[in-house]
Structure 1
C-alpha cells in the first residue's frame, strides 16, 4: 500500500503522460539528429525534474518514500545507461537513419513503459501474495551481478527475438524506410508492405522489457510501493534518448560501469534475501516467524551504496579515459 496521497499520485501520472505526449508529438513532426546542446538541456531538465519530484515526495509522504524513490531512480538510471549498448547495436542492425533514431527511441521507450507497467503490477501482486519470491529475486540479482562482473552479460551482436522473426515470416517487409511510416503501398505491385520502422519499434520496446527482468526485481528490493517503482522507471527512461546521442560514442569508455552495477545488483540481492529472512511469515523459517536476528538494511544505506558504487565507477572510468589520452600523446 502506498504512503503517497492519491491526489499527488494522480497529478504525477497526468504530468508524466503530458511529458510523453508532447515529446512524441514534437518528434513526430520533426525527426532530427539532436545537437549536443539540445541533449544536455533535455537531460538536465529531466534530472532536475526527478530531483524536484523526490523533494515533493519528501514533503507529501515523508523522508522514507523520498529516499526510496531516489535509490530506485539512481539504480534504474544506471541500468538504463548500461542498456544503451544494446540500443546502439539494434540501430546498427536495422540500419536506422540518424535523423530517425530519436523518433525510434522515443516511441520504443513509450511502448516499453506500458509493458513495464504491466510487469510492475504483476510483480507487486506476486510479492504481496508470495513472500518467498524475494528469495528468487535476490538469488537472480546475485547471479546477474556475478555475470555482469565477469563480463558475461555483454552482447557482442544483436539477435532478433522470437516475435520479430515470427512477424517477418507472416508479413511482407520493405527494404527501405519511408520516414516514420509503418505501412506503405508499393508503386510497382500495388501490395502493402510493412516498413523496417515497425520492427525497430517492436524490437526496442520488447528488448527493454527483457532488461526489466533485471531492473524490476532490483527496485522491488528497495521499495515495495508500486507507485515509487513505476515513477522511478519513468524518470529513468525520460531523457534516455538524448543520453543515447550524447554518450553513444563514449559508452565503450565507461569501462568500470559494469563493476559498479555488479556491486549495486549484488547488494540489493543480498538485501532482498535478508529481508525475506527477517520477520516474514514463511513456514520453513523459524516456525513461520522469520529470523529476527537477521538485520534490516535501512533505505538510506542502500542509497549511499548506490551513489558510491555508481559514482565511483563513473569517476574511475573518467580518470582511466584521461590517463589513456595522455599516454596516446
Structure 2
C-alpha cells in the first residue's frame, strides 16, 4: 500500500484529535464509569475502526482493508486477554474505582507510543531481512504452545496475583512514594520532599506490562500484513477502545475461560502462515500462501467458538456450584 508522508501525518493528527476528544468528553473528570457510558464509547470506537477500514477499501481496494480488519480483530482479541492482567494490576495497587479510567487512559497512551517504536523497528527488520519471518513464525508457535500450557496449569487454581517487573521494582526502590493516592496527581511535594504517588506507579505498570504483550501481538499482525501503516492503525484502533472495554466486560472476563485456548489457536495459525510465507520468500514456491479472506474468516470463527464454549462452561460451573450448596 502506497502511503504518502501527508497521509501518515493526517492519520496521526486524526488519531491525536480522537484521543483528545475521548479525554475531554469522557476521561477528564475522575468518575465511576457506568455500563452505559462504557457501551456507548466502545460502540463509537468499533464504528470508527469499521469506518477506517471502509476508507482503506475506498482508497486502496479490498486487500488492504481485509488486512486491516484481520489485524484489528486479532489485536482486539489479544487485548481482551490483556485485560485479565489489568484487573490484577488494579487490585494489586488498590486503585480507587473513580481513578481507574484515568490510569487506563494514560497506560494505553504509553503502550501506543511503545508499540509505534516496535512497529517501526519490526518493519525495518523485515524490509532488510526476509528470513526474520522464520523467527517470527517459530516464536508465535512457541507462544501458542506456552499459552495452552499456562491455561491448563491455571485450571482449578486460585486467582493469580500480579508480579511487578524490574522497571517497577527499580522505580519504587529509587523514588520515595506517598502512602496513598493524591487524587490524579503523579508527583507531589510534601514536607519539603518530592514524592511520586501510586498513580504514577500503576500507570507505568499498565504501560510496561503492555510492552510484554507487544512481543506476541506485533509478530502476529506482521504475519497478516507487512504494511507498517496497516499494522500501526490496527494497533491504534484496538488499543484506543481498550479503556471502555475494560469497564464494559469487566464482569464477563472471568466467564471467558477458554479465551487462552482460542488465542493459542490463532497465534499458532498465524505462526504457520508466517513459516509458509518465509519458505515462499526463500524460493520454495511449492509452499502455499494463506490469503487474507481465509485468515480473517478463521480468526472470527475461532473467536466465536471460543466465546460460545466459554459461556457454556461458565454457566455449567455456576449451575453445579449452585446445586452443591
Structure 1 window deviating more from structure 2 (4-13 vs 123-132): it is 4-13
Match of 2:303 among 304, 310, 320: 310
Report the Cα offset of residue 310 of structure 1: 0.9
User: What's 1:126 paired with?
Assistant: 125
Report the Cα offset of residue 323 of structure 1: 4.0
User: What's 1:270 paired with?
Assistant: 272
User: What's 1:247 paired with?
Assistant: 249
Report the Cα offset of residue 10 of structure 1: 3.4
Report the Cα offset of residue 20 of structure 1: 1.1
Q: Does 1:301 align with 2:300?
A: no
Count residues with an aligned counterpart.
317
User: What's 1:283 paired with?
Assistant: none
User: What's 1:286 paired with?
Assistant: none
Please give the residue correspondences for 1:121-200 in structure 2 after superposition, counting only pairs within 5 Å.
121-151=120-150, 156-186=160-190, 189-200=191-202
Partners of 1:322 and 1:167 lie apart in 2 by 43
TM-score of the superposed pair, with normalisation by structure 1: 0.92
Partners of 2:43 and 2:256 lie apart in 1 by 20
Structure 1 window deviating more from structure 2 (58-67 vs 169-178): it is 169-178
User: What's 2:64 paired with?
Assistant: 65
Partners of 1:319 and 1:52 lie apart in 2 by 33
Calculate the aligned-residue CA RMSD, in Å.
Answer: 1.8
Partners of 1:29 and 1:237 lie apart in 2 by 18
Structure 1 window deviating more from structure 2 (310-319 vs 290-299): it is 310-319
Partners of 2:7 and 2:117 lie apart in 1 by 21
For 1:42-95, what per-residue CA distance to the aligned partner results, in whole angstroms no more than 9, with x for missing partners?
111111111111111011011110000000000000000000010001111111
Partners of 1:56 and 1:104 lie apart in 2 by 32
User: What's 1:215 paired with?
Assistant: 217
SS of the residue corresponding to residue 278 of structure 1 reads helix
TM-score of the superposed pair, with normalisation by structure 2: 0.93
Partners of 1:7 and 1:57 lie apart in 2 by 15
Q: Are the equivalent residues in 2 in contact too, given 1:5–1:60 (CA < 8 A)?
A: no
User: What's 1:319 paired with?
Assistant: 312
Q: Are the equivalent residues in 2 in contact too, given 1:177–1:195 (CA < 8 A)?
A: yes
Match of 1:291 among 260, 271, 284: 284
Report the Cα offset of residue 12 of structure 1: 2.4
